[in-house]
Structure 1
Amino acid sequence: MFASIAQTLSNCFRIPELKSRILFTLGLLAVARLTAYIHCPGLDGNALAEFFREAAQRNAGGGVLGLYSLFTGGALENCAVGALGIMPYISATIIIQLMTAVIPQLSKLAREEGGRTKLIQYGRYLTVVLCLGQGFVMALGWEHPEKIFGEGIGRLVLYDDTPLQIWWYRIQTTLILTTGTMLLMWLGEQITDRGIGNGVSLIITVGILARLPAAFISLRDMFFPGQGLEARYNLGHAVALVVLLLAVIAGIIAVTQAQRKIPVQYAQRAVGRKVYAGGTSFLPLRVNYSGVMPIIFAQAVLMFPEQIFSRLGQLYDVKLFRDLAGSLGHGGTLYLVLYTLMILFFSYFWVATQFNELQIADDLKKHGGYIPGVRPGAATSEYLHNAMHRITLAGAVFLMIIAVIPELLYSRMQVPYAVATFFGGTSLLITVGVMLDTMRQVETHLLMRHYDGFLKKGRIRGRF
């Protein structure tokens, strides 16, 4: 097995075009990682990084900052130029997609020739606006870190408290953070066009994988805590964690590639003097159509109730508010219940806004295609709606299980947060999905040159 993988990797560098694409991708990813370590001028990034390290040792890595720091690859805790990460671009893209589904003008533009290019351009403009707003808010947060990160952290801004100096710091930091995100966006687009894989997804994945060394250190401390300390975990726990990790990865791979193939029959038709022969094809409906988006939406919504009830409990000294804040914290019973229900809701919400069965049925009818046993038009649309509704439930249940595993490990078994995040949730879903997509593109280049791919049959099951 390992010899086959080594041979495949060797074949990748025998193809000049694929070799240049791989090296180009690795070079730009290295540049992207530099943005997570270059401090913004006028900020003491070392003090914030030390605070985050101490918080990780206390297993306090969850919440808003833990999630955001995950997507920035540690740039947030370093006060780096890439502290906003690629998330404003992702947010802008999602907003444009949702607006396309509900605004007829944008929906019509998306179907026109060159319309997608214009929508991408609108997404870039919206990214700049989001960066300016988020960058200014982040500059204010670094100005008063005790209100954001809690007590125990010193002053981060190195400028004087004079109004001129403070406003210069705010404007400068906002522009630098905006520039950092636009650079990451440009690097991602260059990787997509001239490299291998999806550039934006690879940048996020590399940022997630950059936390592996810290996770390994926390994992080592679980079983070998140091001199004079007794380990709470034994060999049985280690075997259970390995089995769980392999099972979760296998499940993610299976469900990510799973699809229901709807058979489609094309009738013979004549267009002008040309006669197009009929044939049989299929319409693939992915089981996990919404990907990782429901988990991200659910986490984003549940970020705020805990903080709101916690502040209300402190202000009015009401026990009910404090109890609700504790139950809505990571791993709390109410949190887990709402978390799973929101994942279910957002799974259907994303499919409802992105899967257009009316357009698919209309396109099939225009091209002379039909589903055997189903009438073209409204009946086909209803059939696709019902089929997608059923498989979305299976995908949503899978997402709920994958999302809850890290929460249970962290809250019930006291597994360090840095370790628990790699046993499911957003991190593993994104990493496995991006790796599968990148492998698919590499295999395409290999098969075109008659080389074997990563699997014996030369293809990834369910991808072709």
Structure 2
Amino acid sequence: MAAAKGNQLGSLGKLTELRQRIFFVIGALIVFRLGSFIPVPGVNPEAMTRLIEQQGGGLLSMFNMFSGGSLSRMSVFALGVVPYISASIVVQMMGSVIPSLQNLRKEGEAGRRKMTMYTRFGTVGLAAFQAFGIAVALQKQVASGGVPVVYMPGMGFVLSSVVGLTAGTMFLMWLGEQITERGIGNGISLLIFAGIVAGLPGAVAHTLTMQANGELGNGLKLILIVAMVLAVTAFVVFMERAQRRITVNYARRSGGQQAYMNQSSHLPLKINMSGVIPPIFASSLLMFPATALTWFGTGHQARWLQSLTQALNQGEPLHDVVFAVLVITFAFFYTAIVFNSQETADNLKRSGALIPGIRPGKATASYIDAVMTRLTGVGALYLVLVCLVPTFMQKSWNVPFYFGGTSLLIVVVVVMDFTSQVQAHLVSHQYEGLLKKANLRRS
């Protein structure tokens, strides 16, 4: 009786730990939302909001959505976690081609800490560079009505903006790491998720207002929006859970008086191994011409840059083509970084496992690499389809679809990851309880 009561208290303690992790995530997201309302000194928030609205749904509007409206208010979190994501991807890419960084990746925890330090340094550099570009550009901007965005332009404003925006990005990086360590899920992904979802109530209210005013016709477009959201969400869930399972056989082993017969298992390979990294990184690269235009967009020599920036606006044919090429390229490149077919083949060989009909070693690595290449091709096309179809709807039918393809993909993937980690916590706690009960029964 006492033992059973002790098990119940232990299980309650585990659930309390899970509850504390969830509350920590909620508290961190509240801090993130509060910080998105702290403006950078010297900026007129109302003029900045009107300036973003004048962009007409371009890339700036998309990044404003990622930051939860921080860019339109020019808060200290305006850069969001994009510099950290870009720096981490660059460090991972360099880690696959530079021998010294390759050795660091093999050193376990010590090497991981060193790579994390390089990522943080890269984040500071990218954030400071982007903050300087934004500060210089904002001094020249005037919102509708002739209202300047910056109250007192000058080096003082540029310096304070660089310090404030860089510090905001570094705080978000630290906050994301704390969520990953003390909460549940990937902290950086959850911050992006919170920024996107923050604008959902306003978008729903705007859509309903348009329907009430008759701007959506007889309600057919509203039904189309709901159907599109549900269809894309179901498709993303299906593709993110889809796997290619390669059959793996374990050779018969003998151990003393016990003999282990041949066992069959499988090697699961996800179709989309790269996750949401390719669309995010592709969108970041497409922002470079717009950033350069803010620096050199006033002279006669910058007309080609203005034309390029306009052609790369979201919904333009050139933007869609370049975006698709970048997503496919980064899908293959990032998959090659996170998945090593030769290492997988070596692990199978060491464990006495083999793929039926394939020789161990190099032949197994070549077979796995060929399968992974085909899967990555399908996954890259899936990412392009999900990211661009809602954009085509917005452009062709003038549907007020708040969730673009990239944002909807991020939301669905983050929710799936968060749910799976919560379930993993619950299963591990139940498993520990079952082991304790089994030990008590034996004793």
Map of 2:27 onto structure 1: 27
- What is the rounded CA distance, in whole Å, between the counterparts of 2:144 and 2:176 in structure 1? 37
1:196-207 superposed matches below 5 A: 196-207=184-195
Tell me by how many angstroms 1:48 deviates.
0.8
Q: 1:71 aligns with which of 46, 63, 66?
A: 66
Map of 2:7 onto structure 1: none
Q: Give TM-score scaled by structure 1 length.
A: 0.80
**CA separation of 1:82 and 1:362: change in aligned 2, threshold 3 A:** same
Identity of aligned residues (%): 39
- What is the rounded CA distance, in whole Å, between the counterparts of 2:117 and 2:139 in structure 1? 33
Q: Secondary structure at 1:128's aligned position in 2? A: helix
1:204-243 superposed matches below 5 A: 204-225=192-213, 230-243=214-227
Q: Secondary structure at 1:77's aligned position in 2? A: helix
Mapped pair 1:104 → 2:99: yes
User: Is contact 2:86-2:281 (8 Å) kept?
Assistant: no
Q: 2:365 aligns with which of 366, 378, 381?
A: 381
Q: Secondary structure at 2:266's aligned position in 1? A: strand
- What is the rounded CA distance, in whole Å, between the counterparts of 1:39 and 1:70 in structure 2? 17
Map of 1:431 onto structure 2: 411
Over the residues paired in the alignment, what is the CA RMSD in angstroms? 3.5
Structure 1: give runs of 5+ residues left out of the alignment: 1-10, 452-464
Q: Secondary structure at 1:285's aligned position in 2? A: strand
Map of 1:157 onto structure 2: 150
1:387-398 superposed matches below 5 A: 387-398=371-382
Query: Once structures 1 and 2 are overlaid, which stretch shifts more, 396-405 or 278-287?
Result: 278-287
Deviations 1:126-175 (A, max 9, x none): 212222222222221222224xxx7656223333x5xxxx2222222211
Tell me by how many angstroms 1:279 deviates.
4.4
Mapped pair 1:190 → 2:170: no
Deviations 1:263-312 (A, max 9, x none): 223346799xxx99974432221101122233234434445679999x99
The AA in structure 1 aligned to 2:320 is L
Q: Give TM-score scaled by structure 2 length.
A: 0.83
User: Is contact 1:44-1:158 (8 Å) kept?
Assistant: yes
The AA in structure 2 aligned to 1:217 is A
User: Is contact 2:57-2:314 (8 Å) kept?
Assistant: no
1:249-260 superposed matches below 5 A: 249-260=233-244
- What is the rounded CA distance, in whole Å, between the counterparts of 1:414 and 1:78 in structure 2? 26
Deviations 1:313-341 (A, max 9, x none): x95999x9999877654333444344334
Between the two proteins, the alignment pairs up a number of residues equal to 417
- What is the rounded CA distance, in whole Å, between the counterparts of 1:321 and 1:133 in structure 2? 19
- What is the rounded CA distance, in whole Å, between the counterparts of 1:306 and 1:28 in structure 2? 32
Query: Once structures 1 and 2 are overlaid, which stretch shifts more, 401-410 or 325-334?
Result: 325-334
Structure 2: give runs of 5+ residues left out of the alignment: 1-10, 432-443
User: Is contact 2:64-2:70 (8 Å) kept?
Assistant: yes
- What is the rounded CA distance, in whole Å, between the counterparts of 1:32 and 1:298 in structure 2? 25
Q: Secondary structure at 2:150's aligned position in 1? A: coil
- What is the rounded CA distance, in whole Å, between the counterparts of 2:29 and 2:12 in structure 1? 18
User: Is contact 2:45-2:74 (8 Å) kept?
Assistant: yes
- What is the rounded CA distance, in whole Å, between the counterparts of 2:96 and 2:260 in structure 1? 33
